[in-house]
């Protein structure tokens, strides 16, 4: 598993395509769709985040253990990891087949459960929101149920990402993303210009996801893997799940905390704010999320190799990748943050957008909190390579506290959009955003001189 410049290039290109899909499509969305529909689309996007709750941390556990298998591990543990020889490239196909079988079973059952719950809850939830909507509601209902079904499909096939990442197929995975995102952009633009409205956004994602999953299947299950697992004997699914569940459960609680910190806020907001306000907040949040994604791309590219360094007890390499990851995040936030503050709304005025970003002060707050969240995410991801989840309780508590703070700010102080920024931001900064970077620095024995050394000779790898 060797990650190099080509992997980084394709990962950044894939990230660019994700951003480009927003940059290219967003102007048309803002120009052709009324603010109410833009606000509704922001709510649509929160639906897929519900699957992160139902995943309950298993994608992280599956991906990490797939990486362990391709790093030469022949035994999976509930906690911790087995150190292997640095040159061991052996793949235990029985272990790999066992993990794949468990993933298919788990995601099949959970995607079916999601679909049932989605169809049961939708009439009340969307029906209540559409009471404020003055446009054609039938189109929204069709788009909503199509999107929900699509999310279920995405969820069922989500384990392909764990397989590709765990095997270290970064470049090929990113190439697939570039191709599928290109199709999404073309399809969405054609449909938008043809007057299909919000359904255009749903169908664009549908085409992209189906192509992505088909190609991912063909790339991962090549002749070597097919021949290897064909005669392998898999462990019972329940035995694999016993290994995965303890840490997955902890990560799941962490995900629940992050959901409360982020997505729940967007889902609650329509009950307190107008759809136009939700649209401004939603667009601003999407842009900040793109910046966070761009900042984490470098670290994400090397994450499978970071896991390999961990099981091979190469702590110096772990330290080096961690520090570089933080420096890349800092650079990206400075460059893109300044660009956003100076050019964001002027560009939207230029294209005659019907929806704009939040004010400069609000955006600055979101950038600061986004940067701190990104650093914290890199730190917790580094700690996870040890197959331990020390932060799950604190994140869950922070998430629940943020919701309480949000409701107080909305109901009693009437802070509106500002409450949606401050509630999660202050809550995370109070503990999470300093605790886990500090813990990672202590665990890896990182000194100031290490940062200085990396800065002096910083290279792509």
H helices of 83-193, where? 93-129, 137-156, 159-167, 170-193
CA 160, distance to chain mean position in Å, is: 15
Write the pLDDT tens digit of every residue in 190-222: 988 888 888 888 999 899 999 999 999 999 998
Q: What per-residue confidence (pLDDT) applies to 376?
A: 92
- Cα separation, 268 vs 262, in Å, equals 11
| Distances from the Cα of 144 to the Cα of 67, 152, 198, 421, angstroms | 36, 13, 9, 27
Write the pLDDT tens digit of every residue in 91-141: 888 888 988 999 899 899 989 999 999 999 888 888 888 887 777 788 889
- Cα separation, 286 vs 381, in Å, equals 22
- Cα separation, 308 vs 166, in Å, equals 10
Predicted TM-score (pTM) of the model is 0.65
Contact criterion met (CB below 8 Å) for 343 and 399: no
Q: What are the φ/ψ torsions at residue 256 (nearest 5 degrees)?
A: -60, -40
- Among the listed residues 184, 51, 131, the one whose alpha carbon sits nearest the alpha carbon of residue 140: 131
What is the biggest distance separating any 2 CA atoms in the chain, rounded to whole angstroms? 65
Q: Give the start-end residues of each E strand in 96-199.
A: none
Q: What per-residue confidence (pLDDT) applies to 461?
A: 45
H helices of 354-461, where? 360-384, 392-411, 417-430, 432-443, 448-456
Q: What per-residue confidence (pLDDT) applies to 234?
A: 85
**pLDDT in single tens digits along all 461 residues of the chain:** 555 566 667 776 776 676 666 567 767 777 777 777 877 877 887 777 777 677 777 777 788 788 888 877 877 777 766 666 656 567 888 888 988 999 899 899 989 999 999 999 888 888 888 887 777 788 889 999 999 999 999 889 888 887 887 787 878 888 898 898 889 888 988 988 888 888 888 999 899 999 999 999 999 998 888 888 888 888 888 888 888 887 777 776 776 666 666 666 667 777 788 777 878 888 898 889 888 888 888 888 788 778 778 877 788 888 989 999 999 999 999 999 999 999 988 988 887 777 789 999 999 999 999 999 999 999 998 988 887 778 878 887 888 888 889 889 988 888 888 998 998 899 989 998 999 999 999 988 888 888 888 887 765 44
């Amino acid at each position: 598993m060797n990650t190099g410049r080509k992997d980084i290039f394709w990962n950044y290109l894939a990230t660019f395509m994700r951003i480009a899909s927003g940059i290219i499509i967003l102007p048309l969305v803002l120009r052709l769709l009324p603010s109410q529909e833009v606000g509704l689309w922001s709510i649509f996007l929160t639906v897929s985040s519900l699957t992160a709750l139902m995943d309950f941390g298993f994608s992280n556990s599956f991906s990490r253990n797939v990486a362990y298998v391709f790093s030469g591990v022949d035994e999976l543990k509930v906690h911790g990891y087995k150190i292997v020889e640095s040159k061991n490239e052996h793949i235990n196909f029985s272990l790999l087949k066992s993990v794949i079988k468990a993933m298919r079973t788990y995601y099949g059952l959970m995607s079916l459960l999601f679909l049932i719950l989605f169809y049961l809850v939708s009439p009340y939830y969307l029906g209540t929101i559409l009471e404020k909507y003055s446009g054609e509601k039938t189109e929204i209902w069709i788009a909503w149920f199509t999107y929900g079904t699509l999310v279920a499909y995405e969820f069922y096939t989500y384990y392909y990402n764990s397989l590709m990442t765990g095997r270290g197929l970064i470049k090929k995975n990113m190439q697939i993303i570039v191709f599928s995102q290109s199709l999404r952009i073309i399809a969405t633009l054609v449909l938008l210009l043809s007057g299909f409205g919000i359904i255009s956004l749903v169908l664009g994602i549908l085409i992209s996801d189906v192509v992505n999953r088909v190609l991912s299947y063909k790339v991962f299950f090549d002749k070597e893997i097919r021949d290897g697992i064909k005669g392998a004997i898999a462990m019972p699914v329940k035995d694999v799940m016993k290994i995965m569940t303890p840490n997955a459960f902890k990560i799941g609680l962490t995900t629940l905390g992050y959901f409360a910190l982020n997505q729940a806020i967007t889902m609650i907001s329509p009950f307190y704010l107008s759809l136009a306000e939700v649209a401004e907040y939603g667009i601003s949040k999407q842009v900040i999320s793109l910046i966070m994604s761009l900042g984490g791309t470098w670290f994400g590219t090397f994450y499978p190799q970071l896991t390999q360094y961990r099981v091979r007890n190469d702590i110096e390499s772990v330290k080096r990748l961690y520090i570089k990851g933080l420096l890349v995040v800092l650079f990206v936030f400075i460059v893109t943050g300044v660009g956003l503050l100076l050019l964001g709304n002027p560009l939207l005025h230029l294209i005659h957008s019907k929806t704009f970003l939040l004010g400069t002060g609000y955006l600055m707050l979101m950038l600061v909190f986004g940067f701190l969240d990104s650093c914290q995410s890199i730190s917790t991801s580094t700690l996870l390579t040890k197959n331990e989840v020390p932060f799950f309780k604190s994140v869950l508590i922070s998430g629940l506290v943020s919701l309480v703070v949000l409701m107080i700010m909305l109901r009693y102080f009437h802070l509106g959009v500002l409450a949606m920024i401050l509630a999660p931001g202050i809550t995370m900064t109070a503990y999470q955003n300093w605790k886990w970077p500090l813990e990672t620095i202590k665990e890896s024995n990182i000194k100031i001189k290490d940062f200085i050394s990396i800065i002096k000779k910083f290279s792509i790898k």
